[in-house]
């Protein structure tokens, strides 16, 4: 009798063990093979991405291992409590979780994506059944706001959605596990961002930006657009903007555009630097009268038209070449089409289409009636000053320093423009951009801001400065812009580019030139002779 009882207990134990192992085996088969057959959650493949670095190897973007959290609400004993606890631990919406838990059509509910190890520990501490962690990746940007619009961001599935993350996506995927070196020099980027932000605050400007470009390779060493944003945060703080104003917005840039009128005049042999031009109080073209932004003398020599930024003088120079030639020239410089670069963001320029007559030729000549993206403008200037050869902007580090293309203007024209830009800084409106020893050349631009109904906003300016250095043998172009700055006590209330943008460009050059290996040719300081 006793043996029979013991035998039965052994048999029952064996059966229970076999059943338990069978259940475990069935569960393993279900999880590994059959899970997607019953409407369960299919695994999501997260594409690996290469690191993005600046030209010197500084890390700009990297994948960090994270996990996505899913839940099987069918095994929860209290769905409302589970939703509350998971929301508190992960930051997810409690209402969304509860709605998902109560939806019988979905056996799996996404709780949160890209959770950190610390959040995972909080979730595990809840002791809830039916939770599953799926490995994934999260893009991390160690420099935060610096170069945010240039580098761009990825979506929760680690696909690029803006900036170089999107524009270089093929290269980033192809080099997964490796690195993709950009043209950006974060030393230059930091300096440019600091100076633009300081000027923006000083003159309470709505926005600001800047570009530093190598004129011989087209490499963009720095590009700043303010306001910016933190790419490590999915949300935006008040005042943040992910819009890159240097490539996505177009502006009437005003007097910096006069550079092209003089380049065209030199090409067509229609302007002499020693030639006198009548200025007067206004210049009539049909029913229109062109005026100066500031008081000008009765006559100006050709070089002083650019140095003093005369609208009337520049209009006369532009009209000598005429509308057809002006349009051909600007087309050849790439200013009448969207600029192409490694950034996916771009903007179409605005210019006269149906009617490009005499008044349009005159106003386009001094930078009104035509709106272009700042990067497009900088690229055109680089082509004008680099010996007259076409250049294309690039955000990828190049192995060769000279990537200039075909000739777009004569080398002699390029040299004349460079000499004239140097004269603007030594004898004209660009004096505050001069940096001893670096032979800075440049041009100011103080443009009226277009408003509604085709009218300009009273007393509103966009000020800019474009600089090339060294002027005689240029290596870099620096361009800075401020949107609607206001004068200060120190500037006597003036907000013109000579007071706002020119000094900013000078400070940028003074700080970046030594880092870029540009020699300072300033004569040595003479010490006082000892008595």
Q: Where are the domains of the chain?
A: 64-138, 188-515
Q: Of the candidates 474, 476, 411, 482, which has an alpha carbon nearest to the alpha carbon of residue 445?
A: 482
Taking the C-alpha atoms of residue 520 and residue 396, their distance in angstroms, rounded to an integer, is: 28
Tokens 């974060």 -> residue = 186
What's domain 188-515's architecture? 3-Layer(aba) Sandwich (3.40)
Taking the C-alpha atoms of residue 129 and residue 288, their distance in angstroms, rounded to an integer, is: 79
Tokens 């004129």 -> residue = 215
Entry pTM = 0.86
Active-site pick, 162, 183, 242, 255: 255
**Strand, coil or helix: 54:** coil
| Per-residue buried b or exposed e for 210-224, using 16+ beta carbons within 10 Å of the residue's own CB | bbbbbbbbbbbbbbb
255: annotated active-site residue:
yes
Fold entry, domain 64-138: Penicillin-binding protein 2a (Domain 2) (3.90.1310)
Taking the C-alpha atoms of residue 306 and residue 298, their distance in angstroms, rounded to an integer, is: 15
**Strand, coil or helix: 15:** helix
Asked whether the beta carbons of 215 and 473 are under 8 A apart, the reply is no
Tens place of pLDDT for every residue, the chain, 531 residues? 455 666 666 666 655 555 555 554 544 444 433 343 334 455 455 568 999 999 999 999 999 888 999 999 999 999 999 999 999 999 999 999 999 999 878 899 999 988 888 899 999 999 999 999 988 888 999 999 999 999 999 998 889 999 999 999 999 999 988 999 999 999 999 999 999 999 999 999 999 999 999 999 999 999 999 999 999 987 788 999 999 999 999 999 999 999 999 999 999 999 999 999 999 889 999 999 999 988 999 999 999 999 999 999 999 999 999 999 999 999 999 999 999 999 999 999 999 998 999 999 999 999 999 999 999 999 999 999 999 999 999 999 999 989 999 999 999 999 999 999 999 999 999 999 999 999 999 999 999 999 888 789 998 999 999 999 999 999 999 999 999 999 999 999 999 999 999 999 999 999 999 999 999 988 876 665 544
Q: Of the candidates 442, 438, 385, which has an alpha carbon nearest to the alpha carbon of residue 415?
A: 385
Cα-Cα-Cα-Cα dihedral sign, residues 38, 39, 41, 47: positive
Asked whether the beta carbons of 485 and 497 are under 8 A apart, the reply is no
């Amino acid at each position: 009798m006793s043996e029979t009882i013991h035998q039965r207990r052994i048999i029952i134990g064996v059966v229970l063990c076999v059943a338990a192992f069978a259940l475990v085996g069935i569960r393993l088969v279900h999880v590994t093979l059959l899970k997607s057959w019953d409407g369960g959650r299919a695994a999501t493949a997260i594409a690996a991405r290469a690191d993005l670095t600046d030209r010197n190897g500084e890390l700009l973007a990297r994948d960090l291992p994270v996990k996505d959290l899913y839940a099987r609400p069918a095994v929860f004993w209290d769905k409302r409590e589970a939703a509350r606890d998971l929301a508190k631990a992960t930051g997810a919406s409690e209402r969304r979780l509860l709605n998902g838990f109560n939806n019988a059509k979905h056996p799996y509910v996404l709780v949160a994506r890209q959770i950190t190890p610390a959040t995972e520990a909080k979730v595990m501490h809840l002791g809830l059944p039916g939770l599953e962690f799926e490995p994934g990746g999260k893009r991390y940007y160690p420099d935060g706001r610096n170069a945010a619009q240039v580098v761009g961001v990825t979506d929760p599935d680690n696909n690029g959605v803006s900036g170089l993350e999107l524009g270089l996506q093929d290269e980033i995927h192809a080099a997964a596990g490796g690195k993709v070196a950009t043209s950006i020099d974060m030393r230059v980027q930091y300096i440019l961002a600091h100076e633009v932000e300081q000027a923006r605050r000083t003159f309470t400007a709505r926005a600001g930006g800047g570009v530093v470009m190598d004129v011989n390779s087209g490499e963009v060493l720095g590009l700043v657009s303010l306001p910016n944003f933190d790419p490590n945060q999915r949300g935006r703080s008040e005042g943040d903007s992910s819009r890159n104003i240097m490539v996505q917005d177009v502006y009437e840039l005003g007097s910096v555009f006069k550079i092209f009128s003089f380049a065209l005049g030199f090409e067509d042999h229609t302007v002499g630097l020693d030639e006198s031009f009548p200025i007067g109080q206004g210049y009539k073209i049909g029913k229109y009268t062109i005026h100066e932004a500031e008081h000008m003398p009765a006559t100006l020599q050709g070089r002083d038209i650019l140095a003093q930024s005369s609208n009337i003088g520049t209009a006369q120079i532009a009209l000598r070449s005429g509308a057809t030639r002006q349009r051909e020239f600007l087309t050849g410089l790439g200013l009448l089409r969207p600029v192409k670069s490694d950034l996916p963001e771009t903007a179409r320029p605005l210019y006269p289409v149906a009617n490009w007559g005499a008044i349009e030729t005159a106003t386009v000549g001094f930078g009104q009636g035509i709106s272009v993206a700042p990067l497009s403008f900088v690229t055109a200037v680089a082509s004008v000053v680099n010996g007259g050869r076409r250049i294309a902007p690039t955000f990828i580090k190049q192995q060769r320093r000279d990537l200039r293309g075909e000739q777009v203007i004569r080398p002699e024209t390029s040299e004349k423009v460079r000499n004239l830009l140097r004269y603007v800084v030594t004898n004209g409106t660009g004096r505050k951009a001069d940096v001893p020893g670096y032979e800075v050349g440049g041009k100011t631009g103080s443009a009226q801001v277009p408003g509604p109904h085709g009218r300009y906003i009273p007393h509103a300016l966009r000020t800019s400065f474009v600089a090339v250095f060294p002027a005689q043998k240029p290596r870099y172009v620096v361009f800075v812009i401020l949107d609607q700055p206001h004068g200060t006590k120190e500037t006597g209330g003036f907000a013109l580019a000579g007071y706002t943008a020119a000094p900013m460009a000078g400070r940028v050059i003074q700080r970046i030139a030594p880092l870029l290996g540009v020699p300072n040719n300033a004569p040595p300081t003479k010490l006082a002779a000892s008595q």
